[in-house]
Structure 1
Amino acid sequence: MGLSDADAQAVLRVAGRLTAHPPLDFADVLEAVREVIDCDSASFNDMVLAARDFRYVIVPAAEIAVATRLKPEYDKYFHQHPLIAAATSKPGLGAIRFSDVEGAADFTDTDLYRHFYEPFDVRFQLVVELPSPPDVVVGYALNRSERMGEFSDRDVAVMNALSGHLAMHHRAALDAERALLVNAEMDRHAWAVVSVRSDGAVEASSSQVLNVGDRVPEELASIVVAADSTPGEEAQHDVMIGTQRWHCIVHPVRLGPTVLFLRRQQDVAADAAALLGAGLTRRQADVVIALARTGGSNNELAQELGMSESTVKKHLEGVFRVLNVTSRAAAVLRLRELTAANGDVAR
């Protein structure tokens, strides 16, 4: 079934909202879909079938309590869902309803219907599966009660028209979340990547070291676009930004903004003060600082600090106890948190 002009325009309006940056929350996407297809409730579902790890977002918000209460029943009987069975056995079916699959007439006799859908007052469902790894079902489901009646062929056509846009939004949302996590980790432990225009304005930044739209500090301005810089040839500098020393690698490019890689140099005095303030002894603090700087083994730390390997191990046990951590990596992370809390963040 083709779309009417009015339906095509409605799909385009929803599609335009799905391209927003940053990506819409899944609850907002569900509400957008409900504007063009009438339903009692709608959900976004991410289900790892083998692990029975079923995560979802549902609207309207009033349905959340009901879904939470009934979810154990869904987890128990999900294998009886005719639409999941159809989608996993024949990927790429597009939008489908209970009435579109084999055995749909018997669905109301299943435990899944009696213990989940009937108490939820859901009699009809329209779903569309998005591209996903094997044994994973990702998709949208629209629900209707007996009173609202079955979804129409028009509703199926609109859902199919939206499916590609929903898939692109899902990918963009995942990418944005992963980028946020990566940038947060880079901000704490590694390099910040910053793009700077020729006028000194920050065009993009992977961290809060330098904020988008701000001008770079004077300490960086003179090295961002040096008169003798050659595109493709890096230059390395140690600079002060605020009260902290940073190592800066400058990559001039022929077209577009200059790319900077920034990494905070370890401030031993600040690190030691933060660790002592947290309750470590001086020697325990020395071990954590050396570990943060080198990531060395106990033997390597012993050689650097002039102590035995057993003494390093003993100090680390004390560090874990005082900082309430259980690993070397967690101890280093705790150090970064302590220094950040003490103002060890450049602006």
Structure 2
Amino acid sequence: MAALPARDVHAVLELVGEIHHAENLDEFRAGILPAVQRLVPCEWVSYNEVGADGTIHAVLVDPLPPSHLFPLWDRYALQNPIVAYYQRTHDGRAYRFSDFLTRTEYHALELYQQVYKPLGVEHQVAIAMPSPPDITIGIALSRKRRDFSQRDRDVLDLARPHLIQAWRNAQRRGPAAERPRVVPDTERLRLLGMSKREAEVLQLLMQGSSTDGVATRLGISPRTVHKHSERIREKLGVHSRAAVVAAAWSSLSG
């Protein structure tokens, strides 16, 4: 890996500073998506836990795709060439679709036809983290038009050991509740005392969306998102975004 410019090293250090304070895996998962997306801009970013048989144990995606695509991703997950390569080699460094397949080969996959084509995903880069033998934990970033560069791979590879350590620290600090594959609907979140709009904001925060991502999805300003987030924190009795997500999962699993 070539030496990175100082601005890229600084960007990695900022990411490390954000995620190293996670108190459990729920907080780690809540913070990792917006932090990685700031490091490597993309249209989609996801946190995935995929079983050796292709079963999806957990997935967080920002922005949230249509719900009918989740079972299709479950069915065709092992066609993802990055997932398949990691399961063969346990090499978790950053790789792109284009490192393994031509565009024609990629477009021929059922995974592309059924899942990625409807979303417009043409390019992806992903890293994997050490995990139990029967689960692959990965972070994937996807784009519509421009492939990921060597710079993108280099900064992800530089960040990867720190992400691994942050994940281990979060795992040691406190157990996470068993996470459903898809976040609860807003009606269930309203049972926590949320207004309709607060429930919509909370749902997207639990999915890993950034403030800007929530604003875009709901058609409101980032400032309005902050105001809703403040009221959500007050109702849940917590003081940070990560704590909001952890408290919501805890309340729903109780």
**TM class, shorter-length:** 0.5 to 0.7
Higher helix proportion: 2
Q: Give the C-alpha shift of residue 151 in structure 1.
A: 0.4
Structure with bigger gyration radius:
1
CA distance in structure 2 between the aligned counterparts of 1:125 and 1:111, rounded to whole angstroms: 16
Q: Give the C-alpha shift of residue 6 in structure 1.
A: 0.7
- The answer to whether structure 1 residue 174 and structure 2 residue 171 are counterparts is yes
Residue aligned with 1:119, SS: helix
Q: Where does 1:299-338 land on structure 2 (aligned, <5 Å)? A: none
CA distance in structure 2 between the aligned counterparts of 1:34 and 1:69, rounded to whole angstroms: 24
Higher strand proportion: 1
Aligned length: 175
1:144 is matched with: 143
- The answer to whether structure 1 residue 57 and structure 2 residue 56 are counterparts is no
Contact 2:81 2:97 in 1 (8 A): yes
- The answer to whether structure 1 residue 159 and structure 2 residue 160 are counterparts is no
CA distance in structure 2 between the aligned counterparts of 1:116 and 1:145, rounded to whole angstroms: 13
- The answer to whether structure 1 residue 5 and structure 2 residue 6 are counterparts is yes
Q: What amino acid is the match of 1:114? A: Q
Match among 30, 34, 42 for residue 37 of structure 2 = 34
Contact 1:97 1:124 in 2 (8 A): yes
CA distance in structure 1 between the aligned counterparts of 2:83 and 2:57, rounded to whole angstroms: 13
Q: What amino acid is the match of 1:117? A: Y
Q: What amino acid is the match of 2:20? A: T
Compute the TM-score of the two structures, normalised by the length of structure 2.
0.63
Q: What amino acid is the match of 1:109? A: A
Instruction: Provide structure 2 residue ranges, at least 5 long, that are not aligned to the other structure.
Output: 179-254
Q: What amino acid is the match of 1:64? A: L
CA distance in structure 2 between the aligned counterparts of 1:81 and 1:65, rounded to whole angstroms: 17
Contact 2:22 2:28 in 1 (8 A): no
Instruction: Provide structure 1 residue ranges, at least 5 long, that are not aligned to the other structure.
Output: 182-347
The CA RMSD over aligned residues, in Å, is 2.2
1:14 is matched with: 15
- Report % sequence identity: 29
1:128 is matched with: 127
Contact 1:18 1:165 in 2 (8 A): no
Residue aligned with 1:45, SS: strand
Q: What amino acid is the match of 1:158? A: V
Contact 1:18 1:169 in 2 (8 A): yes
CA distance in structure 2 between the aligned counterparts of 1:118 and 1:43, rounded to whole angstroms: 17
